[in-house]
Amino acid sequence: MSVLGPVRLDVNGAAVHLTPLTARLLARLIAADGEAVTARRLYRDVWRPTVDLPHQDLRNRNEVQKRIVELRRAFEQAGPGHGARIVHTGQLPTARGVESTYRLDLSEDELDSAEFTRLVGDALSAAPASAVRLLADALRLWHGRPLTGVQDEEFARAPARRLTQLRETALRELIAGHIALGRYDLALPVAEQNARERPDDPEAAATLARLGARLRERHGDELLRHTLRGLRVDVVVVRGDLFDQDDANLVVGFSDTFDTFADDVVISRESVQGQLVDRLFEGRHRLLDDKLRRGLKEFTPLATESVRDKRRGRRTRYPIGTAVAVPVGKRRVFALAYSRLGNDLRARSAPADLRFSLERLWTSVALHGLFKPVAIPLIGAGLSRLVELDRTQLLLLIVETFTHSLRHDPAVCSELRVVLRAADLERTDLPAVEAFLRGVDERGPALGPTGVG
């Protein structure tokens, strides 16, 4: 039986149709909360007579009795004897003589308001994790204003007010439980609902404001986060500096010669590659050279340029897509060759080169990345002169190849974190990236909208 919304009687999972007066009589008996109500009082509250006619009591009692019989028959649909068990008839001596009384005897699981009250009561003395579960179960029982249809009747006002106040307590406690568990993201929609339902309550508004501030503080420069369905893998976009991602492996783009000396001729000091030596190797490019040289022993060079043809920089060339895992403390820097450095000292790449390089990158990450988060800049947006793709397409290409790699190895890394500079952010369509990730959830990892083959 349901009163947390429109009054409704369900028997064996099916709604039972009651005539309007019988439905009101049922609501009146429920509002009595197990107490006996005289037939005279039932008639007055349910039928609401405007005048008292002489010798009307017998007719009134008969009207009440007919509705009681209808109600018992409805309960009998659950099985023989249910009507008599639930609807009790009693006798009450009065100055006018003995009056018939009626009351409902419902178990807790037969009335949603009773179950709701028990769940909230249990939650108030439970630890946060249990309290959250109990309160969520309790609030799911609600389907509108309590005792809808009779909520303005005198007999319904007190129980409706009590249930409404208990629901407000449940919402506040659910918010507090989520906060205690550190789940501010789950507390926020409950706080929004509470503030929406109580627009004049300053406490509800203040709680919502505090939660919003806490979430903004927690996310910091995080712009997008999407957990891939069925995998413990997040795709995240943040605004900031690649080298501030202290908890992650890093990806740094290189040319096919793996030069390291930032002289503003072969390598620009402002590039990510140029900052790598200063930020992680204390300006000692030979230290990075040594680590790259050891890693490159696993790869076969393509060619070696002559001094006459290439007067500056390193002269040994490696295949596009070569990814070297350089150890830096307890993490790795993945040096990825995705462009060719011409003998004119200009780096050049193409969309197909970048796609192939990224595909090879994720294979290396799965093998050497220790399942740590991987932070990658908007690779291809700098001096590689990859002008065919805009910022959004570059970001999508990174995400596409990563999600596609999960088809072959779902444990490539725990998190892909794309780090955008402020200058790149204003030219990047993040909603398009989020839409692509939602599509990945629907169709499974696959190549998507950039059309780069």
Examine the domain organization and report whether 62 and 135 are in the same domain. no
Flag whether pLDDT at 260 surpasses 90.
no
Which tokens sit at 442? 């629907």
Q: In whole angstroms, what is the distance from residue 105 CA to residue 235 CA?
A: 55
Question: By three-state DSSP, how is residue 327 classified?
Answer: strand
Q: In whole angstroms, what is the distance from residue 439 CA to residue 109 CA?
A: 42
Q: How many CB atoms lie within 10 A of CB 161?
A: 12
333 close to 318: Cβ distance less than 8 angstroms: no
For 254, the domain range is: 224-442
Query: Of 167, 193, 219, which residue is a domain's last?
Result: 219
> What Cα–Cα distance (Å) separates residue 302 from each residue in 160, 260, 305, 317?
81, 19, 10, 6
Q: How many CB atoms lie within 10 A of CB 388?
A: 14
How many domains, the chain?
Answer: 3
pLDDT digits (tens, 9 = 90+) for 187-244: 999 999 999 999 999 999 999 999 888 877 666 688 899 999 888 899 999 999 999 9
Q: What is the CATH number of the domain that holds 165?
A: 1.25.40
Q: Is residue 178 part of a domain?
A: yes
Examine the domain organization and report whether 95 and 52 are in the same domain. yes
> What Cα–Cα distance (Å) separates residue 410 from each residue in 100, 171, 366, 369, 376?
71, 38, 9, 13, 19
Examine the domain organization and report whether 288 and 388 are in the same domain. yes
Q: In whole angstroms, what is the distance from residue 281 CA to residue 387 CA?
A: 31
Examine the domain organization and report whether 335 and 436 are in the same domain. yes
Scanning the structure block, which residue is given the tokens 């249910």?
82
* Closest alpha carbon to 257 in 333, 312, 325, 327: 312
pLDDT digits (tens, 9 = 90+) for 338-388: 999 888 878 888 999 999 999 999 999 999 999 999 999 999 887 666 778
pLDDT digits (tens, 9 = 90+) for 28-68: 999 998 899 998 899 999 888 766 665 677 788 888 999 99
Examine the domain organization and report whether 371 and 253 are in the same domain. yes
Q: Is residue 452 part of a domain?
A: no
16 close to 10: Cβ distance less than 8 angstroms: yes
Q: In whole angstroms, what is the distance from residue 440 CA to residue 72 CA?
A: 55
Q: What is the CATH number of the domain that holds 54?
A: 1.10.10.10
Examine the domain organization and report whether 172 and 305 are in the same domain. no
Average pLDDT over residues 277-299: 90
Q: In whole angstroms, what is the distance from residue 30 CA to residue 1 CA?
A: 10
**Residue 213 β-bridge partners:** none
- Does 398 or 309 have the greater pLDDT score? 398
Q: Is residue 376 part of a domain?
A: yes
Q: How many CB atoms lie within 10 A of CB 234?
A: 15
**Residue 141 CB-density burial (10 A; 0-12 exposed, 13-18 middle, 19+ buried):** middle
Query: Of 200, 219, 238, which residue is a domain's last?
Result: 219
Flag whether pLDDT at 446 surpasses 50.
no
| Mean pLDDT across the chain | 88
Q: Is residue 331 part of a domain?
A: yes
Per-residue model confidence (pLDDT) at position 305? 85
DSSP code at position 389: S
Examine the domain organization and report whether 389 and 240 are in the same domain. yes
Examine the domain organization and report whether 204 and 138 are in the same domain. yes
Q: Is residue 347 part of a domain?
A: yes
Examine the domain organization and report whether 296 and 426 are in the same domain. yes
288 close to 275: Cβ distance less than 8 angstroms: no
Band of pLDDT at residue 266, cut at 50, 70 and 90 = low
Residue 377 contacts by C-beta under 8 Å, 6 or more apart in sequence?
A: 242, 251, 252, 253, 272, 418, 419, 420, 421
Q: In whole angstroms, what is the distance from residue 84 CA to residue 62 CA?
A: 18
Scanning the structure block, which residue is given the tokens 């409704």?
8
Q: Is residue 194 part of a domain?
A: yes
Examine the domain organization and report whether 126 and 80 are in the same domain. no
Per-residue model confidence (pLDDT) at position 220? 65
Q: What percent of the chain has pLDDT over 70?
A: 94
Flag whether pLDDT at 406 surpasses 50.
yes
Examine the domain organization and report whether 253 and 305 are in the same domain. yes
Question: By three-state DSSP, how is residue 418 classified?
Answer: strand
Q: Which residues of 345-355 are buried (b: 16+ CB within 10 A; e: fewer)?
A: eebebbbebbb
Flag whether pLDDT at 445 surpasses 70.
no
Q: Is residue 449 part of a domain?
A: no
Per-residue model confidence (pLDDT) at position 55? 64
The crossing angle, in degrees rounded to 10, of helices 39-47 and 57-76 is 90
92 close to 38: Cβ distance less than 8 angstroms: yes
Examine the domain organization and report whether 212 and 228 are in the same domain. no
> What Cα–Cα distance (Å) separates residue 30 from each residue in 9, 16, 114, 152, 332?
11, 16, 10, 15, 67
Q: Is residue 372 part of a domain?
A: yes
pTM over 0.85, yes/no:
no
Query: Of 57, 87, 104, which residue is a domain's last?
Result: 104
Q: In what order do the strands lie in the sheet containing 37-38?
A: 37-38, 97-104, 87-94
